[in-house]
Amino acid sequence: MKIRLEKDWTVAGSWPFTVMQGASVETGAKFTAVTPVIPAKVPGSVYDDLLCAGLIEDPYYERNSLLCEWVANRFWSYQNTFEVSPDIRGKRVRLVLKGIDYHAHIYLNDRKIAEHTGMYVPCVTDITDALKYGEANTLTVVLENAPDEMGQIGYTSRTFTQKARFGYKWDFGTRLVNLGLYDEVYLDVCSDPLKDVHIRYIGDGTLKITAENPEFTGTLSYNGWVCAMGPAQDGKLLLHDPMPKLWYPNGYGEQPLYDLKLTTDDDEKTYRVGFRTVEYRQPKCADRTVLPYIPVINGREIYIKGVNMTPLDHMYGCVTRERYEQFIKMAAQAHVNLIRVWGGGIIEKEDFYDLCDRYGIMVWQEFIQSSSGIDNIPSKRPEFLALCEATARAAVTEKRNHVSLTYWSGGNELMDEHGIPSTFDDPNIAMLREIVRELSPEILMLPTSASGPTEWFDPAHPERNQDIHGPWKYEGTEGHYNLYNSSTILLHSEFGVDGMSNLPAIESVLAPENRKVTTMGENLTWRHHGEWWDTYVYRERPLFGELSDLGELVKLSQFMQAEGIRYAIESHRRRSKTAHPWSLDGDNVCVWPRQENIGAIVWQFNEPWPCVSCTCMVDYYGEPKLAYDFFREAQTPLHVSMQYDKLLWKPGEWFLASIYVHDDPGTGAESVTIRVYGDDGAPIEHEERTQGINFIVPEGRSFRVECELTGTDGSTDRNVYLFLIADGEGKADKTPVLDFFDEYRK
């Protein structure tokens, strides 16, 4: 039985350690808090409690987060008073704190019962003999000030905690080092709890369930219908459904989930489980030592359509199931089938993984390690390795039962002293692999992301672009297309393009005097909300000329981000197994040898606080940018795309492009229709040749190419490309882009 302790909490701040000593040795004066005692949310965040009590200003507005940095330097005392019924006397009672952030001293009725370090390992304490039955109990959790850890820039080799790194300052956020009880707190009333449960589908309609308990009973049901039941023998149980409903990733089939109930004489746990087998295959590559990145679900190879997710909020304890679902549902609607949970963030709450199961989103879960710029070498500090091992064991044991879990990874952008991606030869990574082999052997572990053999996108050596990161900017009106047209990447596990946020989001964090066109270098508040991500129009100022309207800047910047992400995604898909050039004379045969692409994972889907500019496709408030719309359409299972050389053209140039069909479901394309329109909307004559089109670029400000595909099943796909025409100074007119943006967002 679980008794939740999530109501009637309070919190107060104090100088370090004074709350633990209580009074001055010199004078006997009682130490008091430096803040009032205020209501607290559990799960939650100290910052949110202080904000609700009016003790801090909104840290997301302007540069207010700088005024909140004192919070991480105080001790914070959470307190809750509760009663337990005398009826449970005689049973074992354990206090469970699932998310302590970060180092805590726990007291029950003024008696210290535990001390705990680390975010990801639950603190479980037997309090049977310390409880008062039928009367008030007082639980106090004293959180120490946050440890002095590395932000984005620093030395990975010197890290010593298992605390979320992004809160110490990352390019898409601020320095807001979270403290609080960010996950459940409850009493587990049970004398014989189920332990170390491992649920696996082993094929042929059979689930294999093992547990530390030698005796337990399992019941498997689907939509209320009991499929199988039976007792375990020596901690092992096989449950068989003769006609299993298989779980597939989003876009490849349905996501049926079964209810599994496991019981002992004194405990009961329920799980939502899926039937699916998972294997991994090597992609085609000249290097036969390439890792087997391709996921094979129920015997079917899956093309990875992925996004990288940061935590949804700096105050991650405040993230609800509803907010998780908002973002995961948006990802699924964009045809995403994989989310990479980035190693600089957090291991998410159970709600996240439950929803990925439900929506068919495979999970790439990284352990909590990340690069730091100055060095990126995995830490070997003994205190770090002990915490890292404990985190890994807790995370693997809990997350392995989710049907969505598809990859483990040692961490983000870990490298040796030469900048080469870390391998399993590194003792840190080798330790994690052994834990995965022991506890979750069916799931592939990657040493890090990118896993190499080179870290960064290297167009000069395409054979080395196996699993790589970068770039994160639009590479120019010609350079972006040269890069993606000429370079093959097996697995592009992190890349993106930056763009301004939506105007309402920008206005929500900027004071009126800062709601103007400026740059990160010129304006401190803009810099505070996205220092690295000055927009395209300032990186390539001549393209649209000078701007004075903030709304226009947002639209132009978002168009360039959307165009850049769409072209990268479509370029990768053109090298996949399910793509082929569309021959307008009916000969639809792939005509050149190629190294295949097996997937792309865009950086990034979301942001944990409102940036002025960022690489995210969905803003902090859950509103999509234009990039999300282009990304969603570029991933349509039956899709038509166009390969071209540049975005900005001159009148009189020959426009040449190739047309491709992407057919993930294998249903086939019946026809492809190409239409070209000038600035005034009038059709432009064009020649349709084998595998493409050509025509002379007209006078004017822009032209459009519309590609429309009709599938053999009657489905359609329409893809519209806007091209710009340079004036005599090599600049583009902003008006066609602004008109296109407004028309598209309608």
Joined together, the tokens standing for residue 159 give 């890290």
What pLDDT was estimated at residue 24?
66
Strands 362-366 and 405-409: parallel
- 191-302 and 639-745 agree in CATH topology: yes
Euclidean distance between CA atoms 654 and 238, whole angstroms: 66
DSSP secondary structure letters along 614-645: ES-SB-TTSPBPHHHHHHHHHT-SEEEEEE-S
Q: Average pLDDT for residues 63-70, to the nearest whole number?
A: 97
ω into 258 cis (within 30 of 0): no
The per-residue pLDDT of the chain, averaged, comes to 93
E strands present in 396-477: 405-409, 444-446, 467-469
Q: Is the pLDDT of residue 461 over 90?
A: no
Distances (CA, A) of 717 to 113, 439, 673, 710: 62, 44, 10, 7
Q: Average pLDDT for residues 224-252, to the nearest whole number?
A: 94
**Residue 15 CB partners (closer than 8 Å, separation 6+):** 31, 34, 74, 75
What pLDDT was estimated at residue 730?
86
What CATH number has the domain spanning 639-745?
Answer: 2.60.40.1930
What CATH number has the domain spanning 191-302?
Answer: 2.60.40.10
What pLDDT was estimated at residue 315?
97
Q: Is the pLDDT of residue 225 over 70?
A: yes
Q: Average pLDDT for residues 573-589, to the nearest whole number?
A: 75
Q: Is the pLDDT of residue 540 over 60?
A: no
Better-scored residue on pLDDT, 746 or 710: 710
Nearest Cα residue to 106 out of 211, 5, 176: 5
Q: In the structure, what pLDDT confidence band is assigned to residue 689 with cuts at 50, 70 and 90? A: confident
- Cα 499 vs. chain centroid, distance in angstroms? 18
What pLDDT was estimated at residue 543?
85
**pLDDT tens digits, one per residue of 363-407:** 999 999 999 999 999 999 999 999 999 999 999 999 999 999 999
Cβ-contact 377, 415 below 8 angstroms? yes
Write phi, then psi, for 698 (nearest 5 degrees): -80, 175
**Tokens 């956020």 appear where?**
173
Residue ranges covered by each domain of the chain: 2-189, 191-302, 303-636, 639-745
Q: In the structure, what pLDDT confidence band is assigned to residue 585 with cuts at 50, 70 and 90? A: low
Cβ-contact 246, 214 below 8 angstroms? no
Q: Is the pLDDT of residue 358 over 50?
A: yes
Better-scored residue on pLDDT, 70 or 22: 70
What pLDDT was estimated at residue 365?
98
Q: Is the pLDDT of residue 124 over 60?
A: yes
Euclidean distance between CA atoms 209 and 232, whole angstroms: 8
Q: Average pLDDT for residues 487-510, to the nearest whole number?
A: 95
**pLDDT tens digits, one per residue of 245-301:** 999 999 999 999 999 999 998 899 999 999 999 999 998 877 888 999 999 999 999
Q: Is the pLDDT of residue 541 over 80?
A: no
What pLDDT was estimated at residue 739?
95
Q: Average pLDDT for residues 718-723, to the nearest whole number?
A: 97
Q: Which fold has domain 2-189?
A: Jelly Rolls (2.60.120)
Q: Average pLDDT for residues 172-193, to the nearest whole number?
A: 95
Q: What is the 3-state secondary structure (H, E, C) of 454-468?
A: CCECCCCCHHHCCEE
Q: Is the pLDDT of residue 588 over 50?
A: no
What pLDDT was estimated at residue 593?
39
Q: Is the pLDDT of residue 168 over 90?
A: yes
Q: Is the pLDDT of residue 26 over 80?
A: no
Nearest Cα residue to 646 out of 721, 579, 596, 740: 721
Euclidean distance between CA atoms 306 and 290, whole angstroms: 20
What pLDDT was estimated at residue 537?
57
**pLDDT tens digits, one per residue of 596-611:** 899 999 999 999 999 9
Q: Average pLDDT for residues 307-330, to the nearest whole number?
A: 98
Nearest Cα residue to 362 out of 418, 409, 321: 409
The angle at the Cα of 596, spanning 591 to 598, to the nearest 5 degrees, equals 140
Q: Is the pLDDT of residue 590 over 70?
A: no
Q: Average pLDDT for residues 351-372, to the nearest whole number?
A: 97
Cβ-contact 195, 11 below 8 angstroms? no
Q: In the structure, what pLDDT confidence band is assigned to residue 198 with cuts at 50, 70 and 90? A: very high
pTM given for the model? 0.95
CB atoms within 10 A of CB 446: 25
Q: Is the pLDDT of residue 633 over 70?
A: yes
CATH of 303-636 among 3.40.50.920, 3.40.30.10, 3.20.20.80, 2.40.30.10? 3.20.20.80
ω into 471 cis (within 30 of 0): yes
Q: In the structure, what pLDDT confidence band is assigned to residue 542 with cuts at 50, 70 and 90? A: low
CB atoms within 10 A of CB 365: 25
Better-scored residue on pLDDT, 594 or 30: 30
What pLDDT was estimated at residue 729?
84
Q: Average pLDDT for residues 628-645, to the nearest whole number?
A: 97
Distances (CA, A) of 621 to 320, 322, 332: 14, 13, 18
